Amino acid sequence: MTPNDRPSDTPQAAGEDAARPDRGPGNFIDERVADDLRAGRHGGRLVTRFPPEPNGFLHIGHAKSICLNFGLAERHGGVCNLRFDDTNPEAEEARYVDAIRRDVRWLGFDWGEREHFASDYFEQLYAWAVALVRAGRAYVDSQRPEAIREGRGDFHRPGVESPYRDRPVEESLALLEQMRRGALDPGEAVLRAKIDMRSTDLKLRDPLMYRIRKAAHHRTGTAWSIYPMYDFAHGLSDAIEGVTHSLCTLEFQNHRPLYEWFIDAVGPAHRPEQIEFARLNLSYTVLSKRKLQRLVDGGYVEGWDDPRLPTLAGLRRRGYTPEAIRAFCDRIGVSKRDGVVDVTLLEHAIREDLNDRSPRAMAVLRPLRLVIDNYPDGEVEHFEVPNHPTEPAFGVREVPFSRVLYVERDDFMEDAPKNWWRLAPGREVRLRGACLVRCTEVVKDAAGEVVELRCTWDPASRGGMPADGRKVRGTLHWVSAAHAIPAEVRLYDRLFDVPNPSATEDDRDEPRAEAAARDDAFLTHLNQASLEVLEGCRLEPSLGDAPVGHRVQFERLGYFCRDEASSSGGQAVWNRTIALKDSWGKQAER
């Protein structure tokens, strides 16, 4: 038996169901809640909770659960609690509590005073456990863990009753007290519910309620030497808080009989109901805290907030908006069958949101010098450029222009085909918002690499339109070399190069060390090109004082966000949130 007894994931079927979900508001849980409220069940109240275990950062899958729980409360006049499900001291830390609070708030939800910790209920849970022992419905089992595991049987073999099952109540009570005080060592005894070793439901074969753990807890310190198991603690914590609808993911469905058994046996004043929904699985990433932890601990990413991770902290650094994440959660809906959501749906949500809200600016990521021979040396003029192509409310800005510019290296080709509309020897292009230039000469270094383009400009094309109406198809972004701000830009790609890197199943509550040793297979699917750091980029000067977190579209390149970090050379760092178009889609078409 594993020291933690939470369930394993159900297989992640590639789901056609994900394509036709029951939409956000109006999903099956909404309907059930509305029904319950109409019928006056639970005294006409609605209380939900979001119950993270503080053993890692929240990810986009948690966002689905947060939007569901808080959204139901908002739509139906209920309340939603934030409950830290902290019953497993080894993995839990106060810094995760802080990170979770910040992320839920960032996503746009407010739990007010309703912040709870399962550890606040340790005394009450213990009192209930004692009452169950007194009632003859629980006992201390002094068998070794292997014997307990063996005795549980499996789908084909019935369980075998423990020789300690019918020990006197007083003896169990005394042992439980010793367990609590720390007089016994881990593995010497456990508290089990006395249910039915012959049940076809393996979960009902005298499940564990408490195990001995000699680890300091982030809140209760060393006050306890025993910690309650998930199935015992979770439903009763719901009951204590008056939770009416306890929503959890599908892999808990087969825990429901046990959830109900504990509620029935203890008989708390309030009776919560468990309802299951499909967890979010997203292609090209992993949504398992254990796997995310592995990536962090193994140095495969730079931390829980690495912009390549699907954590909320990572997405925030990457430049995602809470609005886009909430819109995504609405769009995928809530269903009763597992599936894998295509990550392009999330990417679509962020593009849509950023298109509306991002001002435009020009930045050159791989600079190539462009010198305008017929432009006076030392002269500077400013062109007025709109900050958004369709929204006048964004206003305009002045962009400096001079004899020496930078353009994108990719925008030049020496032997260009006919339908190349960008720069090439002899070809004319428009510099966005400025004028037309024609390439007259290509300067190369000793190695034959192009280091500079010599051009002439047409002074009559100021603003970008030629006086004679001649057609110029290509429009390039540019910056003035003397005015541009150097910066480091980080381009991100998918962290994995296969749609389902977690093909092997993740048992979410297997102890992390064991599970990690068993399954590091997902690490072989890491995309080696998931991060590209570009030094020596040049940004237009208006971005010089952009605050951390500022989001902008670099014209023709994508959406970018100013990072909190600086480069080793002290330059600002900008993260690319997302390219303008889906390059993976394009690759697939080719």
Binding stretches for ligand ATP (CB under 6 A) = 51-53, 61-62, 64-65, 85, 248-249, 279-280, 287-289, 508
Residues 583 and 345: beta-carbon distance below 8 Å: no
Active-site residue flag, 279: yes
Tokens of 399: 């962009």
The length of the chain is 590
Catalytic residue among 53, 251, 273, 408: 53
Closest-CA residue to 341 (of 178, 254, 333): 333
Catalytic residue among 180, 192, 219, 289: 289
Tokens of 201: 């439901």
Whole-number Å distance between alpha carbons of 421 and 475: 8
Catalytic residue among 213, 279, 316, 317: 279
Least CB distance from residue 58 to ligand ATP, whole Å? 8
Whole-number Å distance between alpha carbons of 345 and 283: 10
504/566 with CB nearer ligand ATP: 504
Pairing of the two strands 226-228 and 478-480: unpaired
Least CB distance from residue 53 to ligand ATP, whole Å? 4
Active-site residue flag, 512: no
| Other C-beta atoms lying within 10 Å of the C-beta of residue 259 | 23
52/151 with CB nearer ligand ATP: 52
Whole-number Å distance between alpha carbons of 525 and 508: 20
Q: Which residue is nearest to ligand ATP (CB)?
A: 61
Least CB distance from residue 270 to ligand ATP, whole Å? 19
Whole-number Å distance between alpha carbons of 147 and 144: 5
Active-site residue flag, 581: no
248/324 with CB nearer ligand ATP: 248
Tokens of 487: 């910066």
262/559 with CB nearer ligand ATP: 262
342/458 with CB nearer ligand ATP: 342
**Exposed, middle or buried: residue 233 (CB in 10 Å: 0-12, 13-18, 19+)?**
buried
85/411 with CB nearer ligand ATP: 85
Give first-to-last CA distance, the chain, whole Å.
Answer: 51
Least CB distance from residue 66 to ligand ATP, whole Å? 8
Least CB distance from residue 62 to ligand ATP, whole Å? 5
Whole-number Å distance between alpha carbons of 417 and 566: 40
Least CB distance from residue 556 to ligand ATP, whole Å? 35
Residues that are catalytic: 53, 279, 289
